[in-house]
Amino acid sequence: MTVATETDRLDQLIAEQEAVFLERQPRSRKLLERASGSLAGGVTSSWQIAKPQAVWISHGAGSKVWDADGNRYVDLHGGYGVMLVGHANPSIVDAVRAQVTRGSHFAQPTELAIDVAEELVRRFGLPLWRFGNSGTEATMDAIHLMRAITGRDLIVKVEGCYHGHHDSVQVSVYPELDEVGPPERPASVPASSGIPSAVTDLVVVVPYNDLDALERALDEHRGEVAGMILEPVMMNAGIIPPLPGYLDGIRELTRRHGALLAFDEVKTGLTVGPGGATRLYGVTPDLVCLAKAMGGGVAAAAIGGSQEVMDHITRGDYEQVGTFNGNPLALAAARAALYEVLTPATYERLDRLRALMAAGCQRVLGATGLAAHAVTVGAKGCVTFSAEPVRNFRQFAAIDDRYSHLHWLYQHNGGVFLPPWGKAEQWLLSAQHTEDDVAPFVANFETFASTLTGGRVTGGPVVPASPMDAGGRDGRR
């Protein structure tokens, strides 16, 4: 089938699969109608809205979730990358149950905080930590610290990286291609209404994987840049790995310009390996931001920093605060996740599953000729619907969204739950997934790809590993 007829079929197949989707979830439709009377938009976060309708969840267990209509799914959504421990993991359930009977909140430090911080020191190699409740809080503290320490106002941010919903990072997150400006000097585009231009003007935007552009930006704003924040592996644009030497280059350039460096590891931390991208790629920033998987399924976040950076908190030059910081329920779950669930054996198992997912995708793509490739790193992976590897936001943004939406629908209707926001998101495996969970994903992918291309899958040999495995330096993971 030619590309023209393939793209023509996308709309027709999307309409068919959306009809199947709605038919399978009549109770969810009723819940959405009821919710619209009391919840703005009928959901609790705007990114829970999906086409053709939000998925209403009843419960989860192990690697599975059930929707409000009783349909069971292999869960590869993982609550937007949180559920690395899997659902209702016995270690987490026991830890939270034990803690809630001893009191759920004191706003005073508990011994749990030391246990969790000590393990984060071991894993990420940064000596001092503080806790918060969300990724947004973690990156907000990182930005505040970089400005407080340097006395400078400008922040360098990568086009297409998402760091939460506070003002300073709500810039050029998913800008329209007609407003982004020249590739080597991207415009600073507010990510939503409500972001003052005075704040946007303080954010210098650079393309990912481009050290020349970064050097130029730092030279142009010599002595004005407080620091740079980035996702070391871009994970709000599918998965875009750093090119060899990119993270080292950033480390060197920021140091040379007296600017600090923050890795936003809200998505990568713990999921790409035990010590996040920091350990995977062997580049240590001044600050690391964690959230999502760190809490073992409960809301928790952390910032870790060098002695020099965190001394500003110790001395009280910057007050890192929050009523729920170090909440004992969250830290009981985090401690169980770190010490009992996310063990070396778990990471080995996750790596085996990662390779199976990648090989399954590659076999189907080889057999159908669909122009796409799988990108995997640790427990995370995605199918990118372009023949060529994607290196930055603009290449990613140019990909036709309909492919990932149709893929999502085929997976969903076939009992596998991927994150609803199509091409921007990626799958998450968990400590409770097994090979039996990989099989339905690959089968659905095969149905999707062969239906779309009109070809027949011949069941060719499984190739061992994806060439787009984004494993770290020297293949270390």
Ligand X SMILES: Cc1ncc(COP(=O)(O)O)c(C=O)c1O
> Where do contacts with ligand X occur on this chain (CB under 6 A)?
80, 134-136, 139, 162-164, 231, 236, 264, 266-267, 291
State the minimum distance, in angstroms, from the CB of residue 428 to ligand X: 12
Strand order in the sheet with 301-305: 128-132, 301-305, 287-290, 260-264, 225-230, 154-158, 203-206
State the minimum distance, in angstroms, from the CB of residue 10 to ligand X: 27
- Taking the least distance from each CB to ligand X, the nearer of 210 and 231 is 231
Cβ 293 vs Cβ 82: under 8 Å: yes
Q: Which of 64, 267, 292, 423 is catalytic?
A: 292
State the minimum distance, in angstroms, from the CB of residue 299 to ligand X: 8
Q: Which of 162, 246, 318, 403 is catalytic?
A: 162
- Taking the least distance from each CB to ligand X, the nearer of 162 and 441 is 162
Amino acid at 268: T
Mark whether 292 is an active-site residue: yes
State the minimum distance, in angstroms, from the CB of residue 330 to ligand X: 12
For residue 193, what are its two tokens?
Answer: 């209404």
- Residue number, nearest CB to ligand X: 135
Cβ 309 vs Cβ 147: under 8 Å: no
Smallest CA-to-CA distance from 399 within 422, 381, 416 is with 422
Q: Residues 287, 289, 293, CA angle at the centre, nearest 5°?
A: 150
Q: Residues 437, 123, 232, CA angle at the centre, nearest 5°?
A: 75
Q: Which of 264, 286, 351, 437 is catalytic?
A: 264
The sign of the CA dihedral 398, 400, 405, 407 is negative
Mark whether 162 is an active-site residue: yes
From residue 187, alpha-carbon distances to 183, 198, 202, 206, 207 in Å are 9, 14, 12, 9, 10
Q: Which residues of 38-61 are buried (b: 16+ CB within 10 A; e: fewer)?
A: eeeebbeeeebebeebbbbbeebe
For residue 230, what are its two tokens?
Answer: 């980035």
Catalytic residues: 162, 264, 292
